[in-house]
Structure formats: C-alpha cells, structure tokens
Amino acid sequence: MSMKERLSYLFKNTAFSKMRNFIDKTTLFAFDLDGTLAPIASKPSVIGIPDPIRQEFAILNKQAVVAVITGRSRSDALHHLGISPHYLIGNHGAEGLPGWKDQENEFFGITNQWQSQLDNLLPLENRRGIMIENKGSTLSIHYRHVCNIKYAHKMILQAIDKLDPQPRRIGGKFIENLIPVSAPDKGIAFRILMEKSGCQKGFFVGDDETDEDIFRLNDANIFTVRIGINVFSDALFYLRNQSEIIRLISEINNVLKNKKDQLIN
Ligand SMILES: [Mg+2]
C-alpha cells in the first residue's frame, strides 16, 4: 500500500472499507501479545487477556489461519493465551518457526554462553534488582527493580558490549533483549509463516519496536495495524488504544462470516 495511506485511523470509513475488502479466507491473521491481545501490565508476569477478547480470538482461530508472534517464550505465551493458535512464534521470531529446529538449537547454545559470560561480567554482589531471564532462543536482562536505574543500565550495556558472540540488542522499558544475530526477526518470521501456511495475504497487529520489522515489509499483500498512533511507525493503520482490539477482531469475524455466507448463497 502506498505512503499516502500511512497511519490512518482504522475505524474511519475509508480505512475500514479497505480492511473489509482486503481480508478473506486466504489471509494469515497474526497478532503480537503484550499490548495487543493483552493490556500492558506493570508486572509482565501478570498480564491477562480479557475474556471477551479471548472469545473473539477463539472464533477467529476457528475460521482462519491465526498466528501469535511475541517476544515471550512459546510456553509462557501459551500459558497466557489459553488457546493454541495455528502458529505460535516466540522469542521475537526466533522460536517455533516450522523447519527451524536445527537453527533454534544453535540459538540455545548461544544464549547459554551469554548467560555464563554475564554471570562473570555482572557479579551477583553488583546485580541487586537485575534479573537475567534465559528464554531459550533469546535472553532478556530486566532492571526495573534496581535502586539506580541509570547506573544499572550503563553497567548492563558495558557487559553486553563484552559478549562473544555479539548479540542483536533490542532495548525496551527497563529491559535489554539479546538475540542471536542469525535469528529471524518478526518480519522474517511473518514472511516464512505466509509461505508455510500458503496464505496469499497477511494481516498483522502489534504495538512496539520489534513489530516494526513487520510494519516495514511494505507489501501490497500485507495489511498492518499499530496499537497507538506513532508518526515514526511504518504501520499503515492504527487503533487508538489496546481496548479497541476487541472491536477489531469481532469486525474481522463478521467480515469473514459474511464473505463465507455470500459464497454459499
Ligand atoms: Mg507488544
């Protein structure tokens, strides 16, 4: 879709009819989890998908090919989802892609190396409040609970600088995510899923920095929606906030149902 169409509010008439015309049963519907299907929680471990969203998501999951692509590990994401989508991709794209088992084992080896290096670079006595989370294919360093945020962040960045092999680093709110350089990002993962699923079109909703890898794909067959307006985003359309996701999924369900009914009649 062209630059001119960038960043329209999705529930405006013209934008919404574009979505209605675009989606059909050959579309792969993919969603980020935190901040998209589930509202952001102050403690990431306690996020929850509100029941009405889960119900609409379950309906969609029955009538279309659905994927969740998240920074969480697959098992953690599944615990929060409570429903198994057709594809569940964890670790920002690095976990769960069909056909990537061997590479995934390599990523596991790399994150284990980082973990033991970080244990030396950030000795326990200096690490109060810093939490290293080994998520299998990637590793996250959390520093939300330290006394001196600025100092802790600087110390963490210095430690990351010394890691071998060097990671791809994605910073977030009180978190640094370390990803093996050869791991697929969300954009690559999304493309692979479109290919594997045989879906000719893709639809994606996300809210944060790592989702830009999908927004950036810039393909007429990919329809992208960002939660929250951000002028720097490459997404085509936006929703005002996460609470609008319920309306979005139920509208998608209605459109798919109507298109199916039209085929039958
Ligand atoms: Mg998110």
Confidence of residue 6 (pLDDT cuts 50, 70, 90): low
Instruction: Let me know whether 40 and 163 are in one domain.
Output: no
pLDDT value of residue 4: 45
Residue 41, pLDDT score: 86
| Rounded-to-10 torsion of CA 215, 227, 183, 181 | 90
Whether residues 163 and 203 fall in one domain: no
Has residue 200 been placed in a domain?
Answer: yes
Tell me: do 226 and 125 sit in the same domain. no
Same domain, 40 and 88: yes
Cα–ligand 1 centroid distance for 209 (angstroms): 8
Ligand 1 mean position to 158 CA, how many Å? 26
Same domain, 109 and 123: yes
Instruction: Say how many Å lie between the CA of residue 37 and the centre of ligand 1.
Output: 9
Q: How confident is the model at residue 3 (pLDDT cuts 50, 70, 90)?
A: very low
Domain's final residue, options 179, 205, 221: 179
Measured in angstroms, how far is the CA atom of residue 163 from the centroid of ligand 1?
A: 27
In a domain, 185, yes or no: no
Distance of CA 130 to the CA centre of its chain: 24
Domain shared by 91 and 196, yes or no: yes
184 domain-assigned: no
Instruction: Find the CATH number of the domain harbouring 83.
Output: 3.40.50.1000
How many angstroms separate the CA atoms of 78 and 87, rounded? 11
HEC secondary structure over 207-252: CCHHHHHHHCCCCCCEEEEEECCCCCCCCCEEECCHHHHHHHHHHH
Q: How confident is the model at residue 124 (pLDDT cuts 50, 70, 90)?
A: confident
Q: How far is the CA of 120 from the centre of ligand 1 (A)?
A: 31
How far is the centre of ligand 1, averaged over its atoms, from the C-alpha of 124 (Å)?
Answer: 30
**For residue 238, pLDDT beyond 50:** yes
Distance from residue 265's CA to the centre of ligand 1 (Å): 40
Residue 49, Ramachandran bin (φ over 0: left; ψ between -120 and 50: alpha; else beta): beta
pLDDT, tens digit (0-9, with 9 covering 90-100), for 165-180: 999 999 888 999 999 9
Q: How remote is the CA of residue 262 from the centroid of ligand 1, in Å?
A: 35
Task: Supply the CATH number for residue 121's domain.
Answer: 3.30.70.1020
CA separation for the pair 185, 183 (Å, rounded): 6
Confidence band, pLDDT 50/70/90 cuts, at residue 127? confident
| 130 is a domain residue | yes
- Say yes or no: 87 and 112 in one domain: no
Same domain, 174 and 237: no
Residues 14 and 95 in one domain: yes
Mean pLDDT of 192-198: 97
Q: Could you tell me the distance, in angstroms and rounded to a whole number, from the CA of residue 155 to the centre of ligand 1? A: 26
Q: Are residues 93 and 107 in the same domain?
A: no
Phi–psi pair at 27, nearest 5 degrees: -95, 135
Tell me how far the alpha carbon of residue 243 lies from the centroid of ligand 1, in angstroms: 14
Taking a C-beta distance cutoff of 8 angstroms, is the pair 35, 227 a contact? yes
- Strand 8-9, strand 237-239: pairing: parallel
CA–CA distance, 71 with 210 (Å, rounded to integer): 8
**What spacing in Å lies between the alpha carbon of 264 and ligand 1's midpoint?**
38
Assigned domain for 213 exists: yes
Tell whether 43 is covered by a domain.
Answer: yes
Strands (E), the chain: 8-9, 27-31, 65-69, 87-89, 131-134, 139-142, 168-172, 175-179, 201-206, 222-227, 237-239
Pair 43, 16 in one domain: yes
- How many domains does one find in the chain? 2
User: How remote is the CA of residue 51 from the centroid of ligand 1, in Å?
Assistant: 19
Gap between the Cα atoms of 189 and 167, Å rounded? 18
Q: What residue numbers bound the domain in which 217 lies?
A: 3-99+192-264
Within a domain: residue 187? no
What beta strand segments (E) does 81-179 contain? 87-89, 131-134, 139-142, 168-172, 175-179
Q: How far is the CA of 211 from the centre of ligand 1 (A)?
A: 7
For the record, the structure tokens of 205 come out as: 């909703």
Q: Which of 129, 158, 179 is the last residue of a domain?
A: 179
Residues 50 and 91 in one domain: yes
Point out the domain boundary residue: 152, 179, 206. 179
Residue 186 lies in a domain: no
**Cα(15)–Cα(6) distance, integer angstroms:** 10
Q: How far is the CA of 263 from the centre of ligand 1 (A)?
A: 36
How many angstroms separate the alpha carbon of residue 3 from the centre of ligand 1? 24
CB 209 within 8 A of CB 179: no
